[in-house]
Amino acid sequence: MTDTRKFYIDGRWVDPVAPRTLEVINPATEEAFATISVGGAADVDKAVAAACKAFETYSMTTREERLALLRRIVEVYTKRQDEVAAIITKEMGAPLWFSKAAQARTGLGHLGAVIEVLERYTFERMHKSTMMRREPIGVCGFITPWNWPINQIATKVVPALAAGCTMVLKPSEVAPLSAHLWAEILEEAGVPAGVFNLVDGDGAGVGQAIASHPGVDMVSFTGSTRAGVAVAIAAAPTVKRVTQELGGKSANIVLDDADLKRAVTAGVQSCFYNSGQSCNAPTRMLVTRKQHDEAVAIAKEVADAVKVGDPMADGVMLGPVVSDVQFKRIQGLIQKGIDEGTKLVAGGTGRPDGLSRGYFVRPTVFADVRNDMTIAREEVFGPVLAILPYSDEEEAVRIANDTVYGLSGYVQSGDIERARRVAKRIRSGNVHLNGAPSDFSAAFGGYKQSGNGREWGEAGFEEFLELKAIFGYEPPQKPAR
């Protein structure tokens, strides 16, 4: 049993103010493999005090000093990247190959992207006689989820460090060990005491304390829309900046001129990656009515071929979902889809054949789905795909936008100009054309109830800066005689 009961505050691993523990469960075995402490408001107070003190000096560091620090973090992270991948697999169930190829690699991806931004960013510019200056926002509170643990930590911590901010992190109590490893990496890289602080705990005890704390100048949250609302309410009395990356129900529009087999195959696989536990997963596949049955047959073939099992084993595409709570919720939504009359063509309730323990979900495909059905409205956060037929391009766009969410969209077409035209009409923060991958140097974030603010690249970096206008910075020129 791994003992990670200490918090990282002011450059030291310290005991919680009040002892209270929680076991961390391996979702593949349903067995506890680690213990953490559950913090509270008093622990947050200590962490915020350390961050406030450190801000006085860290905010005054130069661009060159912060670049040197980020490059040292890259060196240490690279050395320990395999450890990061292994612990992510153990704590949240992603197959080891996926943890190495995607989960752990995102840490280096965001470090590299932010280093590029910091190297060229203009913090000061003149507007007539006024200096327009961007400065670090202050102490930041970070509340991160379990589904992409290092990715979501890196998207917040790295630009904050680059901007000159200090911070307090509350990782998910469901998958916290990768955050502890991240803290060790930052410590080894020489991040000054108090700049980065970590307090474990739940949303009610630690998350709310961070969001409402008067010493926190900004809170950045990633998680469910419901929890995001609670964070915003807690933050409102102190009028701090709040950025949120929340839920999604992304539409994947397969236009009638797309390569159907290629588009459907890639769409199913993308929906199922990470066991469907990605907020931007393309969980609604829209195909023309004429191509519906053919698309369903392709999707069924792909889903039936997916190997589910031990995330440490070779050849496994899907590991378990993260917890018993998630498993039961997904089972309930699959049953709801069946009860509402959708056509179940692959998967269904229960574990896959041959698996008697672990939170494993059968890769599931529903066909003939209407956009008013629960399976098309609610974020399932599991390997569950809904296929919706449409009559024409106009209807496809209407269906895609008929959701409270607006995180990502996907368009497949043999005509790139047509794909671009449709993409511009989708109300979401990101759109992928013909399977294009994400770009860490771009921007990530949502419309509507998928959140506000942006992460990644220059847009994400600027979330950690305040804009100051210094009037009269340059005296007016005396007229020439």
Catalytically annotated residue among 245, 379, 458, 462: 245
Question: Quick check: is 279 catalytic?
Answer: yes
Residue 364: phi, psi to the nearest 5?
-120, 135
Q: What's the rounded Cα separation, in Å, for the pair 458 and 447?
A: 19
Catalytically annotated residue among 91, 271, 279, 463: 279
Secondary structure (3-state) at 288: strand
Question: Quick check: is 52 catalytic?
Answer: no
Q: What's the rounded Cα separation, in Å, for the pair 320 and 341?
A: 27
Dump the DSSP string for 331-361. HHHHHHHHHTT-EEEE--SSPPTT--SSS--
Dump the DSSP string for 38-104. ---HHHHHHHHHHHHHHHHHHTT--HHHHHHHHHHHHHHHHHHHHHHHHHHHHHH---HHHIIIIIT
Q: Are 78 and 108 in contact (CB under 8 A)?
A: yes
First to last CA, the chain: 83
Burial of 348 (0-12, 13-18, 19+ CB in 10 A): middle
Q: What's the rounded Cα separation, in Å, for the pair 253 and 282?
A: 9
Catalytic residue numbers?
245, 279
